[in-house]
Structure 1
Amino acid sequence: MSDALINGVAGAGGGIIAQLITYPLQTVNTRQQTDRDPKKRKNKAGTVEQMLQVVQQEGWGRLYSGLAPSLVGTACSQGVYYYFYQIFRSKAEATALRHKKEGAGDGSVGMLSSLMVAAMSGCVNVLLTNPIWVVVTRMQTHTKKSPTDPIVSGIEPPPFATSNAVQEVFGEAGILGFWKGVFPTLVMVSNPSIQFMLYETLLKKLKQRRALSNSNKGVTALEIFLLGALAKLGATVVTYPLLVVKSRLQARQAMGLDKKHQYEGTLDAILKMIRYEGLHGFYKGMSTKIVQSVLAAAVLFMVKEELVNGVRWMLLKDAAKVVKSKSP
C-alpha cells in the first residue's frame, strides 16, 4: 500500500470522526453566516442558545440536517486532499534532495514549498467536491419556515432530503449551480495551506527540540491534538470572511423582492455585504466557527496520525511475518 493511499484513507477516517463530533456546531455556524435578518442582529443569541432554539423549534434532527452528504463530502474531501497532498509532498521532497546533491539547500522542504503543496492539493479538492458542499449548505440552512415547504394547515412538512436540495440547486441555476461559491472557496485554499504550514512548522520545531535534548520520546497524540488546534486557529482567523461569502452564495438566494439579499456572484456579494451590513457581516458566527474548526482539526490530526501509524505498524508486522516464513 502506497504512503499516499495510507494518508488518504487515514485522512478520510479522521475527517469523518471529527465531523460526527462537531456537526451541530457546524450547522449553527452556517445559519449564523447566512442570517440577514436585522431583527436577529439586534437580539443576537449565543451559540448554545441558538442550538437550543433549533432543538425547541425544529427538533434535534435539524442540528444534523445534511449529515449524510456532509460525511460523504468529508470523506471525499479529506481522502482527495491527503492523497494529492502526499503525492505533491513526495515530489517536493525529491526535488529538495536533488537540489541538496547539486549543492543548494539542506534537503528539507521549505515553508514556501509546503504552502504550494497544500495549495495545489486544496485546489484539486475544491474542484472535485464543491457540489457536495453546496447541497450540505442548503440542507443546513433550510428551516421549517422555508419557502420550499408546502403550506398545509395542521400538517407537518416533509423532511428536506438530499434529493430536495439537489433539485432546488438545479432548478435555480442548472448544473453550474453546484459550483456556486467555488471562487471564494478556491481562494480559501489558503486556509488549509496556512494550517498545514503552521502545523508542519510547529511539528518540525518540536521534533528538533526533542532531538537536541537527546530524548527518544516520540510526539504524543495529545501534542498532535494541540498542534493541530493551534494551526487551525491561526488559519481560521485569517480566512473567515471568505467562508462567510461562500456560505452566502451557496445558500438559497430567493428572498422575495429584496435585491440586497440576492447575490449575482462573489464581487456582488462582497459589495452588498459591505454596503448593507458593514465589515461586521464578514465575521458573523466567527466564535462558533473557531470552536468547531479548532476542535475538528485537532481531532482530525490526532486520529489521522494514529491511523497512519497503526496501518504502517500492521504492514511492517505482516512484512516481517512473510520474511520469517521464507527464511530456512
Structure 2
Amino acid sequence: MSDALINGLAGAGGGIIAQLITYPLQTVNTRQQTERDLKKEKRKLGTVEQMCQVVKHEGWERLYGGLAPSLVGTAASQGVYYYFYQIFRNRAEAKALEHKRKGFGDGSVGMFSSLVVAALAGCVNVLLTNPIWVVVTRMQTHTKVSKKSQPSQIEAVTQDEVIPAALEPPPYGTSHVIQEIYGEAGFWGFWKGVFPTLIMIFLLGALAKLGATVVTYPLLVVKSRLQAKQFKTGDKRHQYKGTMDAILKMIRYEGFNGFYKGMSTKIVQSVLAAAVLFMVKEELVKSARFLLTWDHISAKSA
C-alpha cells in the first residue's frame, strides 16, 4: 500500500469521526450563515439557544440533517485531499533532491513549494467534492415545519401571491435534493459556490487556522448563501444570481456584519474538528504502517 493511499484513508477516517462529533455545530453554523432576516432589531440567538430551538420545534434529527451525504463528503474530501497532497508532496521532494544534486538548495521543500502543494491538493478536492457539499448545505438549511406551527388556512408569500399551507412536509432526502438542484440549475448547479471556495483554499494555505477563519469567513457565508435553496418568489433581496450579486446585495441590505453571521460557532466547530481529525489521522497512519511492517516481517520469517 502506497504512503499516499495510507494518508488518504487515514484522513478519511479521521474526518468521519470529527464530523460525527461536531455535526450539530456545523448544522447550526450553516443556518446562521444563510439566515436572511433583515430586521436588525431582532435579537440573534446564540449557538446553544439555536440548537435548543431546533430540537424543540423540529426534533433532534434536524441537527443531523444531511449527515449521510456529509459523511460521504467528509470521507471523500479528506481522502482526496491527503491522497493528492502526498502525491504532490512526493513530487516536490523529488524535485528538491534533484536540484540539490545540481548544486541548488539543501534538498528540502521550501515554504512556497509547500503552499503550492497544499493549494493544488485543495483545488482537486474542491472540484471533485463540491457537488456533495451543495447537497449537504441544502439538507442542513431545510427547515422541518412542526405540526403545531403549521397554519390552518393559507400562508402569504408576498402581498400579491398566496399559496396553500402544506399539511405535512414532504420527505427531504438525498435523492429529492439532487433532483431539486438539477431541476433548478442543471448539471452546473452542483458546482455553485465553487469560485469563492477555490479562493478560500489559497488563503487558508497562507494563513494560520484561526486567522484564516476570520479572513475567509465572508467567502464561506457567500458560498453557503449560493448553495442554499434560492426562492424565486418573495423578497428579491434574498435572490442571488452569482458570487458578485450575492456580495453586493449582502453589503447593501445587511451591511458588513452579514458576512460574519455565525462566526463564533464556526471557530469552535473548526478548532474542535481539526483537533479530532489530526489526532485520529496520525494514529491511523501509525497503525497502518505498523501493520504493514509487521506483515512484511512475518512474511520474511515464514
- 1:104 deviates by 1.7
Distance 2:40 2:174 in 1: 28
Residue 261 of structure 2 is aligned with which of 250, 273, 284? 284
Residue 151 of structure 1 is aligned with which of 143, 158, 165? 165
Partner amino acid, structure 1, of 2:192: K
Residue in 2 aligned with 1:73?
Answer: 73
Distance 2:47 2:181 in 1: 28
Distance 1:19 1:265 in 2: 29
Distance 1:304 1:8 in 2: 9
Contact residue 231 and residue 239 of structure 2 kept, 8 A: yes
Residue 167 of structure 1 is aligned with which of 179, 185, 189? 179
1:57 and 2:88 are equivalent in the alignment: no
Residue in 1 aligned with 2:15?
Answer: 15
Contact residue 144 and residue 157 of structure 1 kept, 8 A: yes
Query: CA 1:24/1:191 → structure 2, altered by over 3 Å: closer, same or farther?
Result: farther
Query: CA 1:27/1:162 → structure 2, altered by over 3 Å: closer, same or farther?
Result: same
Residue in 2 aligned with 1:241?
Answer: 218
Distance 2:177 2:166 in 1: 21
Query: CA 1:14/1:192 → structure 2, altered by over 3 Å: closer, same or farther?
Result: farther
Contact residue 232 and residue 297 of structure 1 kept, 8 A: no
Q: The residue matched to 1:104 in structure 2 has which SS?
A: coil
Partner amino acid, structure 2, of 1:161: G
Distance 1:50 1:59 in 2: 12
Residue 190 of structure 1 is aligned with which of 202, 209, 229? 202
Q: Which moved more, 1:34-43 or 1:97-106?
A: 34-43
Distance 1:159 1:50 in 2: 23
Query: CA 1:175/1:70 → structure 2, altered by over 3 Å: closer, same or farther?
Result: same
- 1:150 deviates by 8.3
For structure 1, the residue ranges without an aligned partner over 5 or more in a row are 196-230
- 1:237 deviates by 2.0
- 1:167 deviates by 1.6
Aligned structure 1 segments of 4 or more residues deviating by more than 3 angstroms: 149-153
Partner amino acid, structure 1, of 2:241: E
Query: CA 1:158/1:257 → structure 2, altered by over 3 Å: closer, same or farther?
Result: closer
Summarize the alignment of residues 106-117 of structure 1 with structure 2, pairs less than 5 Å apart: 106-117=106-117
Residue in 1 aligned with 2:139?
Answer: 139
- 1:158 deviates by 3.6
Query: CA 1:44/1:275 → structure 2, altered by over 3 Å: closer, same or farther?
Result: same
Deviation per residue, 1:207-264 (Å, 9 max, x gap): xxxxxxxxxxxxxxxxxxxxxxxx5323322211110010000001116232211111
Distance 2:10 2:224 in 1: 28
1:259 and 2:273 are equivalent in the alignment: no
Residue in 2 aligned with 1:317?
Answer: 294
RMSD: 1.9
Contact residue 62 and residue 144 of structure 2 kept, 8 A: no
Q: The residue matched to 2:45 in structure 1 has which SS?
A: coil
Distance 2:165 2:187 in 1: 28
Distance 2:164 2:288 in 1: 50
1:180 and 2:174 are equivalent in the alignment: no
Distance 1:152 1:272 in 2: 30
Contact residue 38 and residue 253 of structure 2 kept, 8 A: no
Residue in 2 aligned with 1:24?
Answer: 24
Distance 1:139 1:306 in 2: 32
Q: The residue matched to 2:186 in structure 1 has which SS?
A: helix
Distance 2:40 2:134 in 1: 24
Query: CA 1:283/1:41 → structure 2, altered by over 3 Å: closer, same or farther?
Result: farther
1:301 and 2:275 are equivalent in the alignment: no
Distance 1:41 1:281 in 2: 14
Q: The residue matched to 1:188 in structure 2 has which SS?
A: helix
Distance 1:40 1:173 in 2: 32
Normalised by the size of structure 2, how large is the TM-score?
0.90
Q: The residue matched to 1:38 in structure 2 has which SS?
A: coil
Distance 2:261 2:212 in 1: 17
**Identity over the aligned pairs, expressed in percent?**
75
Deviation per residue, 1:257-310 (Å, 9 max, x gap): 322111111111111111111111111100000000111111111110110011
Partner amino acid, structure 1, of 2:87: I
Distance 2:79 2:192 in 1: 22
Q: The residue matched to 1:248 in structure 2 has which SS?
A: helix
Q: The residue matched to 2:230 in structure 1 has which SS?
A: coil
